[in-house]
Amino acid sequence: MAILDDYLTGSGAKAFFSKETPVGASVTGKVKDVRVEQATDPATSELQAWPDGNPKNRAVIIIQTDLREPSADGRDDNGERAIYIKLWGVQKKALTEASTAAGGSPAPGDTLTVAFTGHGPQPSNKLFSPAKLYTYTIVKGNALADALNQPAPATATATAAPAATAPATSTAEPVDVVSQVRTFVNLGVTDDEAIARTISVDVAAVQAARLVIAGGTGAGF
């Protein structure tokens, strides 16, 4: 969109930081546009260049903020703010470090926070002002999407171990015990303890033998 169109539609972003901005001021917004252009002299608006003729470039990052301020020219404030970053010196260094930490330089969709933290040392040439120091924090726009799309960690489902099956308990006692108990049953002996003592087994064995005998012949009790 042309500059005139920006003005007429009220979509032109005004700079957030100015020479009146106090140390400590900061702004956060979603990046809408990023471009690199030749820097201009703040006093004369002339394009800046290095002694060898190469242009001094700056990054212009447009962010969408929640700020709404009355405008002297009557334009509506849409909340867009322009962040200007010199692509040399301490500002370039700070932006490079922030980009490295974030995994990439600011791009549309990212969230950018910029804070004015102070001034650098006074240059030896007193005609130059100390450099303004800024910190940049970049949150990549796909960070939330990545987190939402990240597969949920597999939930270990405890698989119940098959219940141990108790070995089948045979109700049949060794044939000799059953036979011996049968003999006493046939004789009409009902004292299991006496039978157990006689054949040297425990009472439970005698009772189990009676069950076998009762199941097979209908007698035993």
* 194-210 per-position pLDDT tens digit: 888 888 888 888 888 88
Cα 125 to Cα 122: distance, rounded to the nearest angstrom = 8
Q: What is the pTM of this model?
A: 0.59
Average pLDDT of span 105-129:
92
44 vs 147 pLDDT, higher one? 44
The region that residue 9 occupies, defined by phi over 0 for left and psi between -120 and 50 for alpha, beta otherwise, is: alpha
Give pLDDT, residue 111.
97
pLDDT per residue as tens digits for the range 154-169: 655 555 555 555 544 4
Q: What is the pLDDT of residue 2?
A: 43
**What's at 129, amino acid-wise?**
S
Question: What is the mean pLDDT of the segment spanning 88-98?
Answer: 96
Where are the extended beta strands (E) located within the chain?
A: 14-15, 26-38, 57-64, 80-86, 111-119, 132-139
Q: In what order do the strands lie in the sheet with 57-64?
A: 14-15, 80-86, 57-64, 26-38, 111-119, 132-139
Three-class DSSP category at 132: strand
pLDDT surpassing 50 at residue 75: yes
- Mean pLDDT, range 109-119, rounded to an integer: 96
Nearest of 142, 25, 132, 145 to residue 84 by alpha carbon: 132
Name the more confident of 70 and 22: 22
